[in-house]
Amino acid sequence: MNIPNLQSLLAVARGDRPADLLLQNARIVNTLSYEIEEASVAIFGGRIAGFGDYQARDTMDLRGALLAPAFIDGHIHIESSLLTPAGFARAVVPWGTGSVVCDPHEIANVCGVEGIRFMLAATEQMPLDVFVMLPSCVPATNMETAGAELSADDLRPLLSHPRVLGLAEVMNFPGVVFGDENVLRKIEMAEGKPVDGHAPSVSGKWLNAYAAAGIETDHESMTLDEAREKLRRGIAVLIREGSTARNLDALLPLVTPANAHRFAFVSDDRHADSLIREGHMNATLAKAVKRGLDPVLAVAMATSHTAEIFGRKDIGAIAPGRRANLIELESLKTFRPQRVWHDGRLVAENGKLLAAISETPAASVRGSVKLQSFSADKLFVPAKGKKVNVIDVIPDQIVTDKFITMLPVENGGWTADLGQDIAKLVVIERHGRGGTIGRGFVRGFGLKRGALASTVAHDSHNLICVGMSDLDMLMAIRALIEFGGGLVAVADGRVPAKLALPVAGLMSDQPAANIVRDIENLHRAARDLGCGLSAPFMALSFLALPVIPHLKLTDKGLIDVDQFKPIELAADN
């Protein structure tokens, strides 16, 4: 652990010179000894100097308040919040988040290396540590068209950046298992640094091979048995609690005091509205404790355990030499922060951000929607059989089921079917690489009319649209082309709600309050159309991700993820 001003820090620790700040009479949530410890904490140069009575230039009497390490999110895609990095930091710092381990593969799939460089530049000089795992799967598979393709050689120069920790989730698990040279080169490139996994439902010998390749974590477990097997094979289990995928209830019973060091909490994908209204890691901890997890252990799973898994010895605990990323907590039930310090500087108090965070110019990642026009005939789905393979949505999960049924035929083409709750679904390549279109159907959105569309469509982020009416779908698609990406709802030929996302078609640089207002309007519009999903646009965005079982749609067509190959839309062909 490289500590700036080590001689001066040691002098303060010995008591030979005054600290910068003394936090008196704290009840310290010690995530190393798993106890509540009563002591005062001396801080110098942004580091913890020691515990006890010290002289200090400044003192603050906490009067028995709880003092904990600032929370760490071990896996998140900042782009999925729909906020720029600056907007994201403004949202999460007051909730007590001091660090995040982000995977910028959303913007990398749109803008390539330039997108990663933008995320690194946009997260400098913040009261939030944004560590980066380099995207391993751009594109995620060869069954879709992304805006870029990144090889090990493209990524290698970025490894030297001080905030780049390792290799992000390796989603192409068949490529790992069968020894695809391009995939293995990226894992080997990590050179002993952390390598994140992404292996939904992978078990048995396939899991053995996946772990043997050097995969160290996984955040895709949905059942207790799945998580237990991964834990036994040496893979740290990251318990995800996001806006759509919520796995805490299913996985928490596996955590014990003996094995908890191999668990951490992550959010993966959280929309701005849930960040602003519900909170971030603090909300996850409150839920975990309500479900019976020991409060001190819960804090450790959001701090020291995460830091250890990702090899960061400077954060995650309150101990001499560690950085003074601290939070004063209201209680170990609500986990609501009263004060937040970053490197010993007070940056938030009573839910209000005190530190200034400026936006980074984003000209290099704008103008990413390269569709010039779109016509109604491109929505036509020729009926080439009697039965159709339909994607079946599972509420609050990003996995889907497969459903086979018959659909109405009009003028030789399959159409949406209100009676079966089946809507038409299209994915349109939007990066200027051919304009290919995947056409299919989905059950479970509850739409009675209208259309929803988005340029957030994991992971290649093509334009995705679901609807009951071709005319409304056409209007939604054209609206997104017009304002350079975003989210839109269309009802009976009008646009009741929209959110422009001009930064890579993924993020808005507007104030979070404006974005939350627009998201609420979109959710209200979706409900008015009949949609009963809690996060309809998040659910829509994952219908194009061909590494999550079981059936998905990309610009290249319908994908059977279990077979890891395209299949015909017609079930009887």
Residue 350 within a domain: no
Q: Do 308 and 394 fall into the same domain? A: no
pLDDT at 95 over 80: yes
The answer to whether residue 485 is domain-embedded is: yes
Claim to verify: residue 298 and residue 370 sit in the same structural domain: no
Residue whose pair of structure tokens reads 């209204």 in the numeric block: 277
Same domain, 159 and 254: yes
Domain boundary among the residues 294, 312, 330 is at 312
Instruction: Retrieve residue 210's tokens.
Output: 């996946």
Q: Are residues 295 and 414 in the same domain?
A: no
Q: Give the pLDDT confidence of 341-387 residue by residue, as tens digits.
A: 999 999 999 999 999 999 999 999 999 999 988 999 999 999 999 99
Own/partner long-range contacts of 150-158 (Cβ < 8 Å, ≥24 apart): 150/108, 150/112, 150/113, 151/182, 151/185, 151/186, 152/182, 152/185, 152/186, 152/188, 152/189, 154/112, 154/113, 155/113, 155/186, 155/189, 156/189, 158/113, 158/116, 158/117, 158/120, 158/134
Taking a C-beta distance cutoff of 8 angstroms, is the pair 526, 389 a contact? no
For residue 274, give the amino acid letter: S
- Number of domains forming the structure of the chain: 2
Alpha-carbon span 431 to 139, nearest angstrom: 13
Sort residue 195 into left (φ over 0), alpha (ψ -120 to 50) or beta. Answer: beta
Confirm whether 356 is domain-assigned. no
Amino acid identity of residue 239, one-letter, is I
* Span 164-192, average pLDDT: 94
Do 157 and 287 fall within a single domain? Answer: yes
What is the CA angle 141-143-145, rounded to 5?
Answer: 85
- Mean per-residue pLDDT over the chain, rounded: 96
Closest CA relative to residue 140, chosen from 496, 513, 542, 567: 542
Question: Would you place residue 46 in the very low, low, confident or very high pLDDT band (cuts 50, 70, 90)?
Answer: very high
In contact, 125 and 98? CB cutoff 8 Å:
no
| Domain-embedded: residue 342 | no
DSSP state, 91? H
DSSP notation for 212-235: HTT--EE----SHHHHHHHHHTTP
Q: Would 220 be classed as within a structural domain? A: yes
H runs (alpha helix) in 53-112:
85-92, 105-111
Whether residues 171 and 279 share a domain: the answer is yes
Does 417 lie in the same domain as 279? no
> Domain range spanning residue 196?
70-312
Following CA atoms 544, 460, 237, 322 in sequence, which dihedral angle do they give, to the nearest 10 degrees? -150
- pLDDT for residue 517 is more than 90: yes
Residue 519 domain flag:
yes
Name the domain boundary from 278, 293, 312.
312
- 185-232 pLDDT tens trace: 999 999 889 999 999 999 999 999 999 999 999 999 999 999 999 999
Residues 6 or more apart in contact with residue 292 via CB below 8 angstroms = 252
**Domain check: are 373 and 286 in the same one?**
no
- Transcribe 436-503 into DSSP letters: -EEEEEEE-S--SS-EEEES--TTTT-EEEEES-HHHHHHHHHHHHHTTSEEEEEETTEEEEEEE-TB
For residue 573, the model assigns a pLDDT of 62
Question: What pLDDT, on a 0 to 100 scale, did the predictor assign at position 115?
Answer: 97
> Based on the domain organization, do 282 and 405 belong to the same domain?
no
DSSP 36: E
Indicate whether 84 and 176 sit together in one domain: yes
Judgement on whether residues 305 and 378 belong to the same structural domain of the protein: no
Q: Is the residue at 321 inside a domain?
A: no
CA 495 centroid distance within chain? 28
Q: Give helix 204-212 / helix 224-232 axis angle, nearest 10°.
A: 40
Tell me the pLDDT band of 397, cut-offs 50, 70 and 90. confident
- The arithmetic mean of pLDDT across residues 541-570, rounded, is 94
> What residues are paired with 339 via a beta bridge?
328, 349
Residue 437: the pLDDT is: 98
- What's the confidence (pLDDT) of residue 84? 97
> Any idea what the CATH number is for the domain that residue 142 is in?
3.20.20.140
Residue 253 located in a structural domain: yes
The domain boundary, picked from 267, 283, 312, lies at 312
d(CA 446, CA 562): 26
What confidence tier does 136 reach under pLDDT thresholds 50, 70, 90? very high
User: Do residues 172 and 307 share a domain?
Assistant: yes
SS3 528: helix
Residue 336 is predicted with a pLDDT of 96
Q: Determine what percent of the chain is predicted with pLDDT higher than 70.
A: 100
